[in-house]
Structure 1
Amino acid sequence: MSKLFCNSHLTFLRSRTISTFISKIPISISPTTTSRSLSKHTLIYPQSNPRKQFSIRAFETSSEKDSSTECEKESSGGEIADEFGNGSLKRSDEEYPSGEFEFKEIAGWDGFVVKLRMLFAYPWERVKKGSVLTMKLRGEISDQLKSRFSSKLSLPQICENLTKAAYDPRISGVYLHIEPLSCGWGKVEEIRRHIVNFKKSGKFIVAYVPVCGEKEYYIGSACGELYAPPSAYFALYGLTVQASFLGGIFEKVGIEPQVERIGKYKSAGDQLSRKNMSKENCEMLTALLDNIYGNWLDTVSSTQGKKREEIETFVNEGVYQVEKLKEEGWITNIRYDDEVRIYVCH
């Protein structure tokens, strides 16, 4: 499942089978008629701040379990005594929150407050009902919040925008323009998770990919519909990792790096001391690639309603004609960007 290419300077590894208004956010909204910037607009979603009760067992060490058990017996009313002797904590058998996103429609008093605030909102905070949230994902996605003058969205902004759009009654759906990404798989997984959570609101989400690799398709396949232009370039060639080694260069210039290591899988100093990749490092990276690629196959196959073997065979063929992608159900249809925008706005 993995191929290794080595030379004195570079090692290349490929895995082939491989209710309230919230603060202003930098997004753009496409209304039903025109598209306008809403860098100063706000979206609405319910503000919840429930008081969480944690079991004392979540923080105690194994040596403290016996003493906590005695405190539990001595406390009355089925509660556990805290460090001050007060029986204020819940019992330890209470289930921990799963963290699963649960969409609850705004209703009752919260719904009335939202409509009231929308009625008396400032002109620059007003958004037409039935608008479409438009976001462009491309390049490196930062972990930190960007400034208001930056054109790129950070990971917190993307996730927060999707959550707010799910609750905002003025937003009918989301349009994602996905261009080549250079971020890690952890960020890609987080964005996809929020897309799946957004779909629980019952609103539509449409993606457009002019250039598509594994990361772009992993996000786009989570959307309800995926479009590509006739000139789209798909490159689902698998996952790769590469590493540089400077041992041969240092040897020629008379430098001898001194690296101390404990354990054969500690490869941080290999870049300075070795000329090629060690067997242990190759084993570690191969296992990592196989795990990521296996998860990609399982997720895409479950989304597309196909078997994992079919997805794997299609990727290994390496023929990605746009017409064939449409026929086999990899994309919804072949359309240009302006056609998709008109489609989602109507």
Structure 2
Amino acid sequence: MKRRTAWILVAGVAAVAVGAAAVGGLALALRGRGAGWSANNYLYLDLQGEISEEPPSSDLGTIFERQPPSLRTLVESLERAADDPRVSAAVLRVSILPDSGWATVQELRDAVGRFRRSGKPAYAHLEFCGNKEYYLASGCDKIYAIPSALIELTGLRSEVSFFKGTLDKVGIQAQFEGVGKYKNAPNQFTETGFTEPHREQMDALLDSLYGQFVSAIAQGRRRTPEDIRAAIDAGPYDGSSALRAGLVDELVYQDQLDTRLKGASRLTPGRYVKGSRGFGLDSRPKIALVYVVGDIIPGRSQGSPLGGGFAGSDTVAEALKDAREDGAIRAVILRVDSPGGSGTASEVIWREVGLARQKKPVVVSMGDVAASGGYYVGMGSDAIVAEPGTITGSIGVFGGKFSLHGLYDKIGISKEILLRGRRADLFSTYRPWSDDERVRMRELMESFYRDFVTKVAQGRHRSYEDIDALAQGRVWTGAEAQRNGLVDRLGGFAVALDLAKEKAKIGKG
């Protein structure tokens, strides 16, 4: 593997960031050596729980290693270990990853593949895992499991709840207007089941993801796709039945696996990466990494007490502006993991991407989801990179409100509303929209949709009619989006980095 030549700076614009970081300051060197480590080590990735997109938002996160580390740290540890003669193997203890999407596990699996191509083995060890986790494990040379392991390899499903019946019972009326026959986000509140376009879209997503799932496992286990489909239909498995089915290679406990590594010391990703970087200055070309993680909102980025967070347009725009004005930065990677949000906030970020692009290349790297506003922010970039399992597209718009008048009547609440202006109570929850108000709301939605499609067409160098046919609020996997011309290349951050270096004419040295 070639050593990375471009320097990566993290602009603090992730969902939990405290503000836009100054992207041109001091940084850790990439050429550190990790003094004090033995000559015989293995990299140990303990994968369970939430794998976050963004790095720690405070200095404490660099002192105490987060478990599991961020996606970027996990991938970087595998990349560094591939070239490190002191690291002989990688062990992945793969457990439940409840919040990780397909793109996250694909990016990790890709990194494992690059590690293996260095000639070093990677082993997976299973105790309890589901479909995504087994998919990740199948990218290793060997899969081990404890005898009582539970491997829930059962196939993929899409389960959507519809709340219209409940809302009707309690007197709540959902009122939404939107453009795009596949823009189905409000359907959970306005329908009692799938509409035909909604079902069509969900079936297509499942077909694409299931095809990727089966193909990758078949390749990793050296089996035919038909064999894997049969194995999935026969699941779930315990350790013994998984061994008989050829889904694992051997039943061993962790201590037995440690013994087979012949006394090698365990290195964890966070401390290994930090120690490998060192503390010197680096004079190589710089590439800024800017995060858009979480729902897109106006103002500052912020965390959420319920988990996740929000990407604030002011925070992201400031970081892009800093990167644009810093002469030492040669290119920008915009890392997007967002289902969308505010249309106006998305446009603020889109504008700043366009301004940055006038001075240096901007490449978008998509995570698990980059749809609706998540697609909007990056559609004007030089190139878009997505994993095959990324959920993207959703080029459409909707808006609306809930009328609670029926609920208020049931629980004895009454209101009196005084107005100055004919539509001052347009968004009051005390009454539904009139026909005239619905028409006006739809006019606004149609205007935004036309502008959205026009901007996509300009960014993708296609006609309005071409993009309109692909838009309509439809969601695509990254693989489908690339075939349709909405994405340029398939892959993770490593592919985006190589593309940014190529466009910035950063050499291989």
Deviations 1:57-116 (A, max 9, x none): xxxxxxxxxxxxxxxxxxxxxxxxxxxxxxxxxxxxxxxxxxxxxxxxxxxxxxxxx8xx
Q: Is the 8 A contact 1:132 1:345 kept in 2?
A: no
Equivalent in the alignment of 1:165:
81
1:136 to 2:46 alignment: yes
Give the direction of change, closer, same or farther, for the CA distance of 1:246–1:154 in structure 2 (3 Å limit): same
Equivalence map 1:269-308=2 (5 Å)? 269-308=186-225
**Displacement after TM superposition at 1:154 (Å):** 0.9
Give the direction of change, closer, same or farther, for the CA distance of 1:278–1:232 in structure 2 (3 Å limit): same
Equivalent in the alignment of 1:178:
94
Give the direction of change, closer, same or farther, for the CA distance of 1:237–1:328 in structure 2 (3 Å limit): closer
Aligned equivalent of 2:240, options 319, 323, 328: 323
Aligned equivalent of 1:220, options 137, 152, 157: 137
Give the direction of change, closer, same or farther, for the CA distance of 1:324–1:255 in structure 2 (3 Å limit): closer
Name the larger-Rg structure.
1
Equivalence map 1:17-32=2 (5 Å)? none
Q: Is the 8 A contact 1:228 1:335 kept in 2?
A: yes
Give the direction of change, closer, same or farther, for the CA distance of 1:129–1:306 in structure 2 (3 Å limit): same
2-structure distance, mates of 1:263, 1:47: 43
Deviations 1:181-227 (A, max 9, x none): 11100101000000000111111111101012211111111111110
Equivalent in the alignment of 1:236:
153
Equivalent in the alignment of 1:263:
180
**Displacement after TM superposition at 1:47 (Å):** 4.5
User: What SS is found at the alignment partner of 2:92?
Assistant: strand
Aligned equivalent of 2:110, options 193, 215, 234: 193
Q: Is the 8 A contact 2:231 2:245 kept in 1?
A: no
Question: How many residues in Structure 1 have an aligned counterpart in Structure 2?
Answer: 232
Give the direction of change, closer, same or farther, for the CA distance of 1:322–1:303 in structure 2 (3 Å limit): same
Equivalent in the alignment of 1:79:
none
Equivalent in the alignment of 2:294:
none
1-structure distance, mates of 2:44, 2:236: 31
Equivalent in the alignment of 1:6:
none
Query: Which residue identity does 1:337 align to in structure 2?
Result: Q
User: What SS is found at the alignment partner of 2:160?
Assistant: strand
User: What SS is found at the alignment partner of 2:48?
Assistant: strand
Deviations 1:19-60 (A, max 9, x none): xxxxxxxxxxxxxxxxxxxxxxxxxx944249xxxxxxxxxx
After superposing on structure 2, the runs of 4+ consecutive aligned residues of structure 1 that deviate more than 6 Å are none
Aligned equivalent of 1:154, options 70, 87, 98: 70
**Displacement after TM superposition at 1:297 (Å):** 0.9
Unaligned runs of 5+ in 1: 1-44, 51-113
Equivalent in the alignment of 1:17:
none
Unaligned runs of 5+ in 2: 8-30, 264-509
Q: Supply the RMSD in Å over aligned alpha carbons.
A: 2.0
1-structure distance, mates of 2:222, 2:45: 27
**Displacement after TM superposition at 1:271 (Å):** 1.8
2-structure distance, mates of 1:213, 1:151: 20
Equivalence map 1:33-48=2 (5 Å)? 46-48=3-5
Q: Is the 8 A contact 2:52 2:70 kept in 1?
A: yes
Give the direction of change, closer, same or farther, for the CA distance of 1:249–1:327 in structure 2 (3 Å limit): closer
2-structure distance, mates of 1:261, 1:157: 40
Give the direction of change, closer, same or farther, for the CA distance of 1:321–1:152 in structure 2 (3 Å limit): closer
Q: Is the 8 A contact 1:213 1:236 kept in 2?
A: yes
Equivalence map 1:3-152=2 (5 Å)? 46-49=3-6, 125-146=35-56, 147-148=61-62, 149=64, 150-152=66-68
Give the direction of change, closer, same or farther, for the CA distance of 1:258–1:194 in structure 2 (3 Å limit): same
1-structure distance, mates of 2:136, 2:248: 13
**Displacement after TM superposition at 1:180 (Å):** 0.8
Query: Which residue identity does 1:312 align to in structure 2?
Result: R
2-structure distance, mates of 1:222, 1:326: 17
**Displacement after TM superposition at 1:299 (Å):** 1.2
**Displacement after TM superposition at 1:337 (Å):** 1.1
Equivalence map 1:332-343=2 (5 Å)? 332-343=249-260
User: What SS is found at the alignment partner of 2:185?
Assistant: coil
2-structure distance, mates of 1:344, 1:213: 26
| TM-score under structure 2 length normalisation | 0.43
| TM-score under structure 1 length normalisation | 0.63
Equivalent in the alignment of 2:460:
none
**Displacement after TM superposition at 1:341 (Å):** 1.5
**Displacement after TM superposition at 1:342 (Å):** 1.6
1-structure distance, mates of 2:180, 2:4: 49
2-structure distance, mates of 1:135, 1:320: 24
2-structure distance, mates of 1:283, 1:343: 50
**Displacement after TM superposition at 1:316 (Å):** 1.0
